[in-house]
Amino acid sequence: MKKQKIIVSAIALISLFSLTACGYNRENQSGKAKTTLKVALVPGTGGVNDRSFNQSAWEGLQDWGKENNLKKGVGYNYYQSNSDSEYITNYNSAKQAGYKLLFGIGYSLQDATTIAAKNNPDSNFVIIDSVITSQKNVASATFADNEAAYLAGVAAAKASKTNKIGFIGGMESDIVTHFEKGYIAGAESIKPNIQVKVQYSGTFTDAAKTKTIAAAMYASGNDVIFQCAGNAGSGAFNEAKSLNNNRKESDKVWLIGVDQDQKYLGKYTSKDGKKSNFVLVSTIKEVGEVVKDISEKTKNNKFPSEEVIKYDLKNGGVSLGLDNVTSEIKNSIIQAKEKIVSGKIIVPEK
C-alpha cells in the first residue's frame, strides 16, 4: 500500500544555507569514511551542469559524500545519459559498481527506474519528480512547483509595465504544466486581465530554440518571461542579456529563473553604464536537500520504502529567490505565501 508523508526539512535547509553562506566547498574532506553506503545519481539528459534541476541534485550528493568522507567514484558518483535509452544501462553500470542507493533525477526516468528496481530488489531507488507505487525498494519525492510558480506569477504581474508576460516550457509534461498553471494563477491574482503568452519549445537541451522563442516574446511586448526549460533555458538568459545590454537600466526586460536561484546568471551592464541584474525571482526546489535527506536516512537504515514524500512551501521544499524585487513586490509575495501555507489559497496544478 502506498504511504504518503510530508517531510519537514527546515533543519536540513538551514544547514544548506549555512554551508552556502560560509563558502562551503566540495573538495575532498580528510578522515575515515563514515559509511559503507554507496550512492549514485542517474540524471536526466540535461546533465549535472545544467544550472538547474540535475545540478542541484549532484551538488547535494557531493555535499553528502564529503560530509561522510567519501570519494567521488568510490562512495558516490553519477552516470550521465545522452538519451533516454541509456537510463537502464546506466542503472546497471551503477549497480555493478556496487552502488546500493540510486536516484533517478526527473520524471523521464520513471519507466527505467521501475524496471531497474524490479530487476534489483537488493538495491534501493528514489525517483525524483514522479511517483512509483507498490515497490518496496522505491521511494518517490515530489515538489509543489505550482506553489512557488504562483509566487513568481505575483512578482511578474507586479513588475510588468506592459501587462503582458510570458512562459516558456521545455517538454510538455505534468511537471512543467504545474509551473505554468501556478504562474498564471499568481499573475491573475494581481491583475485579472493580464495577458500570459505560453509556448513550449519541445526540448530541455536546445538553447538556440529557447532563445528564439524568448526573442519573439520580448519583441511582442512581454516584459517578464518565466523560463522552465532546463538546460535549454540558457538561451532565454542569453537573449535577455543581449537585449538589456542595449537598453537603459530603467527599460530592462525581466527573466524568472527555475529550480535553482539563478540570479547569478542575470548580471549585466546596461547601455547607460549601470551594473544591474535582470533575474526578477527564481523558483527554487531543494532537490539537493532531498538527495542528502534520503541518503542520510538510508545510511541510518531508515530508507523510506514505498513513501511518496511531498516537498512544498510549508516545509521549505520549494521557495522563491527574492533578491531583486522591490519591497512592495516582496510584501505581496509574503502575503500570498502565507495564504498558500494556511490553505486560504489552493494553487491549481492543471
User: Which architecture, in CATH terms, is 3-143+285-311?
Assistant: 3-Layer(aba) Sandwich (3.40)
- pLDDT above 90 for 5: no
Q: How many CA atoms lie within 13 A of 38 on its CB side?
A: 15
Specify the higher pLDDT residue, 6 or 283. 283
Specify the higher pLDDT residue, 196 or 322. 196
Question: How does the average pLDDT of the chain come out, rounded?
Answer: 92
Q: Are 307 and 286 in contact, with CB atoms under 8 Å apart? A: no
- pLDDT above 60 for 10: no
Nearest 5°: phi and psi at 27?
-70, 155
Nearest Cα neighbor of 236 from 259, 258, 212, 262 is: 212
- Residue 115, SS3 per DSSP: helix
**What is the strand order of the sheet 124-128 is part of?**
3-6, 307-311, 138-143, 124-128, 101-105, 39-42, 76-78
- pLDDT above 70 for 245: yes
Mean pLDDT value of segment 185-207: 97
Q: Which residues contact 20 (CB under 8 A, 6 or more apart)?
A: none
- pLDDT above 70 for 255: yes
Q: Are 137 and 125 in contact, with CB atoms under 8 Å apart? A: yes
Residues above pLDDT 90, as percent of the chain: 86
Q: Do domains 3-143+285-311 and 145-284+319-342 have the same CATH topology?
A: yes
Q: Which residues contact 109 (CB under 8 A, 6 or more apart)?
A: 42, 44, 87, 127, 130
- Residue 196, SS3 per DSSP: strand
CATH code: domain 145-284+319-342 is 3.40.50.2300
Domain boundaries, the chain: 3-143+285-311, 145-284+319-342
Residue 30's pLDDT band (boundaries 50, 70, 90)? Answer: low
pLDDT digits (tens, 9 = 90+) for 198-211: 999 999 989 999 99
CA pair distance 105, 119, nearest whole angstrom: 19
CA pair distance 268, 264, nearest whole angstrom: 10
- pLDDT above 90 for 323: no
pTM of full prediction above 0.75:
yes
- pLDDT above 50 for 348: yes
CA pair distance 33, 70, nearest whole angstrom: 6
**Greatest Cα pair distance in the chain:** 62
- Cell reading at 43: 540524471
- pLDDT above 90 for 127: yes
- pLDDT above 80 for 24: no
In our burial notation (b when 16+ CB lie closer than 10 A, e otherwise), range 86-117 reads bbbebbeebbeeebbbbbbbbbbbbebbbebb
- pLDDT above 50 for 19: no
- Counts of helices then strands in the chain (DSSP H, E): 10, 15
Residues above pLDDT 70, as percent of the chain: 91
pLDDT digits (tens, 9 = 90+) for 43-64: 998 899 988 889 999 999 999 9
Instruction: Name residue 125's beta-bridge partners.
Output: 102, 138
Element (H, E) at 320: strand 318-321
Nearest Cα neighbor of 13 from 222, 337, 305, 311 is: 311
DSSP letter for each residue of 221-263 = T--EEEEE-GGGGHHHHHHHHHHHHTS-GGG--EEEEEES--G
